[in-house]
Amino acid sequence: MSLTLAHSPAPALSRWLVTLFAFCCGAIVANIYYAQPIVGLIAAQLGLGPSSASLIVSLTQIGYAAGLLLLVPLADLLENRRLMIGASLAAALCLLLAGTTEHGSVFLALSLALGFSSVAVQMLVPMAAHMAPEESRGQVVGTIMGGLLLGILLARPLSSLVADHLGWRMVFIGAAALMLGIVVLLAALVPPRMPSHRASYAQLMSSLLGLLRRHPRLRQRSVYQALMFAAFSLFWTAVPLELMHSHGLSQSQIALFALVGAIGAIAAPIAGRLADAGHTRRASQLAMGLAPLALLLGLWQPGTSVIGLALTGILLDFAVQMNMVLGQREVYGLDAASRGRLNALYMTSIFIGGAGGSALAGLLYQQFAWSGIAAVGAVLPALALLLFNRDLRGAASC
């Protein structure tokens, strides 16, 4: 049974198209983060209890992970532009319904569906990698991933500010309008890409385990970045609590704080250039070493000040973004015909790590305050660095 995919020739990837891809990635991935800082407002109006309210964020992340695993591999099977437009239209509908529903149970179901339908971003990235020449692929992926990280970091402050001034419903209604604009951009400006597949969907899905078995670097990079992203999610889920309880910041001030972390997005193009220049190993060690050092600032008294927390956020975002791009550059080089599935596996593992970090944040903060967040957060990327160095030694001895 053959699963070889012969892709159509890749059109040229201009700078403006890379910028468009970056913007679309940021706008789409923001869908899964809008609700995080405003779950209290949503729950109060829809009659959801505390346990049900916490499910809003969890269900969105679960839906996103399911979409990564079940929908993104179709990028190796179906015409990419049409697939992305269909997913984005579904996300726009989910957002509109979420902004207008009066029922808590319906909102929870829509949260799951919104996460599932917001995975077009993970079809855009491998498509760009396919279109980019080998010598600049890392830079292209890095620039687009910078847009993705900006979307993650800006979604929370944006939703907080909109909810403060216009109400939480306008967050979702406005996002629905933005998604319709993204659909127009995708239809008008993104070139079609049709894989010449030789497999059914069932065969495509069954090949995922084969890819995991065949590519140890995919398994390794997935574990490294899952640990890094768990620390990232742990920090950004807990830091609003610390800023509110220990420093008395308002919702709008916390939103402004989150903007500081966006500075870390500059790591993406830097990481891409380093990878293109052959410095993946040293850059990976730098990223995985910087993350625990950033979080350990929280065990030092000045590190718990607002300025100290901002510095941690900037350094952590820089490290996590750098390592993600380095990993993607390496994973995409494993098999050009399987980039959709490789990306699905890589990103699924990352967001599972992120969901674990978010789930752990509340319990850790309640039991051990900020020192618990800093200590556990530092251990996670430190473990990734230990595994990376161990794998390097193993490869060198072969």
How far apart are alpha carbons 172 and 188 in whole angstroms?
Answer: 24
Query: Could you give the 3-state DSSP secondary structure of residue 196?
Result: strand
DSSP state of 132: S
306 class by beta-carbon count within 10 Å (0-12 exposed, 13-18 middle, 19+ buried): middle
Residue entry with tokens 């990481």: 271
137 class by beta-carbon count within 10 Å (0-12 exposed, 13-18 middle, 19+ buried): buried
Domains of the chain, with CATH numbers? Answer: 12-393 (1.20.1250.20)
How far apart are alpha carbons 178 and 257 in whole angstroms?
Answer: 24
Please check whether residue 53 is in contact with residue 106, taking contact to mean a CB–CB distance below 8 angstroms. Answer: no
- The structure's pTM equals 0.79
The 10 Å Cβ neighbour count of residue 139 is: 23
Residue 13's φ and ψ, nearest 5 degrees, are -110, 100
Tell me the residue ranges of DSSP E strands in 17-113: none
pLDDT tens by residue, the chain, 398 residues: 444 444 444 455 678 888 888 899 999 999 998 987 787 788 889 988 766 776 787 788 889 989 988 998 888 888 889 999 999 999 999 999 999 999 999 999 999 999 999 999 888 887 887 777 777 777 787 788 778 878 887 898 888 889 888 999 999 999 999 999 999 999 988 888 887 667 788 888 888 889 999 999 999 999 999 999 999 988 988 888 888 888 988 777 877 887 776 776 676 677 777 777 778 899 999 999 999 999 998 888 777 899 999 999 989 988 998 898 889 888 988 987 788 788 889 988 888 888 788 778 878 888 899 999 999 999 999 999 999 999 988 776 65
How far apart are alpha carbons 111 and 94 in whole angstroms?
Answer: 8
How far apart are alpha carbons 146 and 268 in whole angstroms?
Answer: 5
Residue 388's φ and ψ, nearest 5 degrees, are -60, -45
CA angle 2, 64, 283 (to 5 degrees): 80
Residue 335's φ and ψ, nearest 5 degrees, are -165, 105
Both tokens of 252, joined, read 């709008």
Whether the CA torsion 285, 287, 293, 296 is positive or negative: it is negative
What pLDDT is attached to residue 29? 92
> Which amino acid is present at 73?
P
